Structure 1
Amino acid sequence: MTADDEAPEHRCHGYRRYDERGTVPLAGYATLATAFAAATGTLTVLARRRGVTLPERVPPWDVLLLGVATYKTARLLTKAKITGFLRAPVTRRVEDAKAGEVMDEPLGGNAVKQAVGELVTCPFCASTWSATGLVGAYVLAPRGARLVGAALSAMTLADWLQYAWTWTQENAEG
Structure 2
Amino acid sequence: MTEFLEKTGQEYEGDHDRPLAAYARVIGVYGAAVTAAAVAAKLTGKRPPERIGPMDLTLMAACTHKLARLLAKDPVTSPIRAPFTRYQGVSGPSELKEEPRNTIGELLSCPFCIAQWVATGYAVGLVFAPRATRLAGAAMTAVAASDWLRLAYAKLMKSVE
Corresponding pairs, count: 158
Structure 1 counterpart of 2:70: 76
Q: Write the mapping of 1:19-30 to structure 2, written as runs, cut at 5 A.
A: 19-30=13-24
The answer to whether 1:57 aligns with 2:51 is: yes
Runs of 4+ in 1 over 4 A off after TM superposition: none
Structure 2 counterpart of 1:156: 144
- Distance in 2 of aligned mates of 1:95 and 1:17: 35
Deviations 1:120-161 (A, max 9, x none): 111111100110111101111100000000000000000001
- Distance in 1 of aligned mates of 2:15 and 2:142: 43
Structure 1 residue 53, shift from structure 2 partner: 2.1
Structure 1 residue 17, shift from structure 2 partner: 4.9
Give me the TM-score of the superposition, normalised by structure 1. Answer: 0.85
| Bigger-Rg structure (1/2) | 1
The match for 1:48 among 36, 39, 42 is 42
Structure 1 residue 16, shift from structure 2 partner: 2.2
- Unpaired segments of 5 or more residues in structure 2? none
Asked if the contact 2:49/2:126 (under 8 Å) is kept, the reply is no
Amino acid at match of 2:144: T
- Distance in 1 of aligned mates of 2:58 and 2:15: 41
Distance 1:72 1:54, change over 3 A: same
- Distance in 1 of aligned mates of 2:125 and 2:41: 10
The answer to whether 1:137 aligns with 2:125 is: yes
Q: Write the mapping of 1:100-139 to structure 2, written as runs, cut at 5 A.
A: 100-107=94-101, 114-139=102-127
- Distance in 2 of aligned mates of 1:133 and 1:69: 11
- Unpaired segments of 5 or more residues in structure 1? 5-10, 108-113
The answer to whether 1:86 aligns with 2:80 is: yes
Aligned-residue RMSD, C-alpha: 1.9
